[in-house]
Amino acid sequence: MSIKAVVFDAYGTLFDVYSVTTRLESFCPGQGSAIAQLWRDKQLEYSRLISLSDSNHGGSRYYETFWAITCKALDYALQRFGQTLNEVQIQSVLDQYHALDAFAENAEVLIALKQKGVTTAILSNGDPSMLNGAVAGAGFNTLIDHVLSVDEVRHFKTTPHAYGLAQQHMGFTPAEVLFVSSNGWDVLGAQWFGFRVCWINRAGLPAETLGPEPEFQGANLEVVIKVLETLA
69-119 pLDDT, tens digit per residue, is 999 999 999 999 999 999 999 999 999 888 899 999 999 999 999 999 999
CA distance 184 to 161: 19
35 and 138 co-located in one domain: no
Q: Mean of the pLDDT values across residues 40-63?
A: 85
Structural domain span for residue 47: 17-98
Residue range 207-218: mean pLDDT, rounded: 95
Is residue 188 located within the same domain as residue 198? yes
Residue after which a domain boundary falls, among 98, 125, 141: 98
Domain match, 44 and 105 both: no
- The pTM for the full model equals 0.94
Residues 78 and 167 in one domain: no
Clarify whether residues 131 and 170 are in a common domain. Answer: yes
Residues 81, 110 share a domain: no
> Mean pLDDT, to the nearest integer, of 191-218?
96
Residue 145 bears catalytic tag: no
Active-site residue, selected from the candidate residues 9, 54, 127, 186? 9
Q: Give the CATH number of the domain where residue 92 resides.
A: 1.10.150.240
The reported pLDDT for the residue numbered 181 is 98
pLDDT score at 58: 62
- Residue 1's pLDDT band, with cuts at 50, 70 and 90, is low
Cβ atoms of 148 and 166 closer than 8 Å: yes
Q: Are 148 and 91 part of one and the same domain?
A: no
Triad 157, 160, 164: Cα angle to 5°: 100
Q: What's the gap between Cα 63 and its chain centre?
A: 18
Gap between the Cα atoms of 50 and 62, Å rounded: 6
Q: Say if residue 160's pLDDT is above 80.
A: yes
Structural domain total, the chain: 2
Could you tell me if 148 and 43 lie in one domain? no
Asked if 40 and 16 touch (Cβ cutoff 8 Å), the reply is no
Q: Exposed, middle or buried by CB within 10 Å (0-12, 13-18, 19+), for 232? A: exposed
Share of the chain above pLDDT 70, in %: 97
Within this chain, do residues 61 and 110 fall inside the same structural domain, yes or no?
Answer: no
Residues 89 and 43 in one domain: yes
> Considering 77, 98, 119, which residue would you say is the last residue of a domain?
98
Share the mean pLDDT of the chain: 94
CATH number where 201 lies: 3.40.50.1000
Do 203 and 190 lie in a common domain? yes
Q: How far apart are CA 124 and CA 5, in angstroms?
A: 15
- 54 falls in which pLDDT band (50, 70, 90)? confident
Cα–Cα distance measured from residue 164 to residue 93, given in angstroms and rounded to the nearest whole number: 32
**Banded pLDDT at 53 (limits 50, 70, 90):** confident
pLDDT band at 170; cut points 50, 70, 90: very high
Listed residue (182, 189, 201) closest to 157, CA to CA: 189
49, 66, 98 - which closes a domain: 98
Count the helix, strand and coil residues of the chain and give each as a percent rounded to the nearest 5: 50, 15, 35
71 & 123 share domain = no
Question: 18-23 long-range CB contacts below 8 Å, 24 or more apart?
Answer: 19/96, 19/100, 19/101, 20/93, 20/96, 20/97, 20/100, 23/92, 23/93, 23/96
Q: What is the pLDDT of residues 11-36, one digit of tens each?
A: 999 999 999 999 999 999 999 999 99
